Amino acid sequence: MGLFRFIFSKTFVIQLVIAVGVLIILAFLTLQWLDYTTNQDQRIKVPDLATMNLDKVEEQLDELDLRYEILDSANFNPDFPRYSVIDQVPAPGKFVKENRKIYLTLNPSGYRKVEIPDLFRKTRRQAIPTLRSLGFKIGDISYKKDIAQDAVLELLHNGKTLEPGDMLMKTSTIDLVLGDSTGKYLEEETDSTDTEVNEIQ
């Protein structure tokens, strides 16, 4: 009966109210501290940095108290200036906190170089898809006398003969010199002529 009487006593009620009040105050102060330390109410809109060079990027992010980090460069994109931003994380328009790091992907200075494969004596049907798959463009196709039809005899770039293992900028134009199969017939005609001359002698 003593405990039951104490629970409903004025002293207990006062202590309970004080305890609840202290808990509410502590919870409020804790939330305020979290808001302050985590900048919950601070929202900075990420700007669109596409096509900007690093000087402009740094200037704009400094004004917003944001940082940046450069990721590996992607493949060259001719639609963007060289060394400019072509991608960013977080994306433009997203809201972030102060001092957040923005990850940037830059456009390289140009297309990377690709190794010329060994296509000597390969057929035209094999050579053209191989070169295109490597990122090259096919230019002029010319023929010269050879025993094989459409066999690759030379690869040229700006008039210069390319050798297997040479490095050439991606998207470069390569000219093909192919065999026309007339070499076989010329050899047969030459042999026939030599035979006739020997018979006359």
Domains, the chain: 44-106 (3.30.10.20), 113-187 (3.30.10.20)
**pTM over 0.85, yes/no:** no
CA distance to 83, 96, 144, per residue, from 154 (Å) = 36, 57, 10
Give me the DSSP letters along the chain: -HHHHHHTSHHHHHHHHHHHHHHHHHHHHHHHHHHHHHTTT--EEPP--TT--HHHHHHHHHHTT-EEEE----S--TTS-TT-EEEEESPTT-EE-TTPEEEEEE--SSPPEEEPP--TT-BHHHHHHHHHHTTPEEEEEEEE--SSEEEEEEEEETTEEP-TT-EEETT-EEEEEEEESHHHHHHHHHHHHHHHHHHH-
Q: What is the pLDDT along the chain (201 residues), one digit of tens a residue?
A: 465 565 667 776 787 788 888 889 988 888 877 666 655 556 899 999 999 999 999 999 999 999 999 987 678 888 899 899 999 999 999 999 989 999 999 998 888 889 999 999 999 999 999 999 999 999 999 999 999 999 999 999 999 999 999 999 988 999 999 999 987 543 444 444 444 434 444
Q: What is the pLDDT of residue 144?
A: 94
Phi, psi of 105 (to 5 degrees): -115, 125
Matching residue, tokens 């001359």:
197
Q: What is the pLDDT of residue 20?
A: 86
